[in-house]
Amino acid sequence: MTTNDSSANGEERASRSVDAIRAWGAEWNHKFGAMLERGWPLAEVAALHDDLDRIASAADGLGDSASAAAAVELSVYLCSFVEDGRSPDPSQREKLLQLCGALGEAKAPAVSPAPAQAKPSRLAHLLCISEDAGLVAELSLRVAERGIAMTARSTVDDALSRLPELGMHAVLVDQTQLDGLQRLERAALNLGGGTGRPLFAAMLRDNSLEQRMRALRGGADVVIEFDEQPGRLAERAARLLRERDGAPLRAMIIDDDRSQAMFCESVLRHAGVETRLHTEARQALADFAQFRPEVVLVDLYMPDMDGMSLVAALRAQPDAAGVAIVFLSGDQDAETRFEALAAGGDDFLTKPILPRHLVAAVLTRGRRVRQMQAGASRRTSESLASNVREFAPPARAQSA
């Protein structure tokens, strides 16, 4: 067999593989449409979501970027319903069907045109979840004075069953509702709408270490102590929103497998994260200070420098102490995971990586890194101001 024949056969096999992926996507569309007609059976939805992640990974591995991108976008949107066990409302079902239309060659069932969306408001939007009606009323007035529109819900169940029409930039959760924080986190992209993932703040009346840890473990990005002063609470919320509305989160992806790296990049961009991709560890080191990511995704095994050595080199850089580092590897050995975390990693994701796991790891850790950086900056500014006041010469008395 000649080289040309081998090349032709390889292209033919690749073409058949891509066709198989798109046929798989068409079959998935058919199953999803049939499932919607029966309602929203949770076990079936979860199984279809797992299949969708497999389609995304397979399409990416075969270089079918169109199918991979369509599957990733649909998976990221679907994941909050799956994780929370919540049924989509009519407009969300319409959105799901529209996303299905881009998957494979199958066409989604015909749907009526979506109504024109309102222009984005220039106001920042805060969702407050509290059963304290007096606080809600007072806080609504105080945040309005600071250019913030507030939507109130009494419980987490109420918030999830009646999603706000506009995307929320931040969600403030009263201490009595902390048990529902993880459910809110799983619905983050739906709560944020077109604004991306909202910032989650826990409002604590009991600011003990136990309650703070409870809030952070539940998914809170920041904890606010409530001292029964709605004005102070409104000012803190306004400051958090100003910090949140800065540049998008940044993630650096370092993996010698370009296909895997591009797959991660596609998933994160759909979630509103700015990315920088490197297939060579030494190039990533040189670029780190310029890009200044909040999260670094590192392949554990690379030819020019292994992941643990790279992390040690990163941690030696002045600006890398607080950066979140997530290892990526197909190695499922428990001892290897322990060594990676001991070497300076914050998390470990096993390949093949599911889109929803990647998004959750990067957004949650990235938000916390940004909050820590903002807090450190404020403390530095306050310390400098205090030193200036302490060493300033006394005012000279004026002569009569």
The verdict on 271 and 311 lying in the same domain is yes
**Vertex 337, ends 334 and 338: CA angle to 5°?**
90
- H helices within 245-354, ranges in order? 258-270, 281-291, 307-315, 334-342
308-333: average pLDDT: 87
The verdict on 78 and 26 lying in the same domain is yes
Question: What percent of the chain has pLDDT above 90?
Answer: 13
CATH number for the domain including 332?
3.40.50.2300
Residue that is last in its domain, among 183, 214, 244: 244
Confirm whether 257 is domain-assigned: yes
Number of domains within the chain: 3
Confirm whether 90 is domain-assigned: yes
Report helix angle 355-391 to 65-84, nearest 10: 80
90-99: average pLDDT: 85
Nearest to 28 by CA among 88, 111, 96, 114: 96
Cα–Cα dist 163/91, whole Å? 11
The verdict on 157 and 203 lying in the same domain is yes
10-26: average pLDDT: 67
The verdict on 222 and 268 lying in the same domain is no
Higher pLDDT, 206 or 318: 206
Nearest to 226 by CA among 175, 171, 155, 181: 175
CA distances from 369 to 41, 209, 317 (A): 38, 20, 16
The verdict on 29 and 93 lying in the same domain is yes
The verdict on 96 and 162 lying in the same domain is no
Task: Name the average pLDDT for the chain.
Answer: 79
Tell me, what's the pLDDT at 117? 34
Q: E strands within 82-147?
A: 124-129
Confirm whether 196 is domain-assigned: yes
The verdict on 355 and 273 lying in the same domain is yes
Tell me, what's the pLDDT at 4? 52
Confirm whether 107 is domain-assigned: no
Question: What percent of the chain has pLDDT above 70?
Answer: 80
The verdict on 240 and 273 lying in the same domain is no
The verdict on 224 and 264 lying in the same domain is no
Tell me which residue has tokens 């994260």: 273
The verdict on 266 and 326 lying in the same domain is yes
**Vertex 271, ends 83 and 155: CA angle to 5°?**
45
Confirm whether 391 is domain-assigned: no
Tell me, what's the pLDDT at 110? 39
Confirm if 302 and 256 have CB atoms less than 8 A apart. yes
Cα–Cα dist 160/373, whole Å? 31
Task: Give 121's pLDDT tier (boundaries 50, 70, 90).
Answer: very low
Tell me, what's the pLDDT at 84? 66
Residue that is last in its domain, among 222, 244, 266: 244
CB half-sphere exposure, 348, CA atoms < 13 A: 20
pLDDT in tens, 335-347: 888 888 888 888 8
82-103: average pLDDT: 81
pLDDT in tens, 281-292: 999 999 998 888
Tokens of 341: 């975390």
The pLDDT of residue 311 is above 80: yes
Confirm whether 381 is domain-assigned: no
Mean pLDDT lowest among 74-88, 100-114, 122-136, 295-309:
100-114
Higher pLDDT, 116 or 56: 56
Residues sharing a CB contact under 8 Å with residue 144, sequence separation 6 or more, in sequence order: 150
Tell me, what's the pLDDT at 14? 53
The pLDDT of residue 114 is above 50: no
Tell me, what's the pLDDT at 116? 35
CB half-sphere exposure, 257, CA atoms < 13 A: 17
Confirm whether 54 is domain-assigned: yes
Total residues found in the chain within this entry: 400
Tell me, what's the pLDDT at 175? 92
- Residue-range definition of the domain harbouring residue 79: 10-100
22-29: average pLDDT: 81
Strand, helix or coil at 356? helix
Pairing relation of β-strands 222-225 and 347-350?
A: unpaired
Pairing relation of β-strands 295-299 and 250-254?
A: parallel
CA distances from 110 to 75, 98, 100 (A): 21, 9, 11
Tell me, what's the pLDDT at 11? 57
The pLDDT of residue 111 is above 50: no
Task: Give 365's pLDDT tier (boundaries 50, 70, 90).
Answer: confident
Confirm if 242 and 264 have CB atoms less than 8 A apart. no
The pLDDT of residue 156 is above 70: yes
Q: E strands within 183-283?
A: 199-204, 222-225, 250-254, 274-278
The verdict on 297 and 221 lying in the same domain is no
Q: Rounded to two decimals, what is the model's pTM? A: 0.55
- Give the DSSP H or E segment for 173: strand 170-174
Confirm whether 59 is domain-assigned: yes
Tell me, what's the pLDDT at 17? 63
Higher pLDDT, 172 or 243: 172
The verdict on 175 and 156 lying in the same domain is yes
The pLDDT of residue 67 is above 90: no
pLDDT in tens, 174-228: 999 999 988 888 787 778 766 667 888 999 988 888 888 888 888 888 888 888 8
Residue that is last in its domain, among 182, 209, 244: 244
Tell me, what's the pLDDT at 279? 92
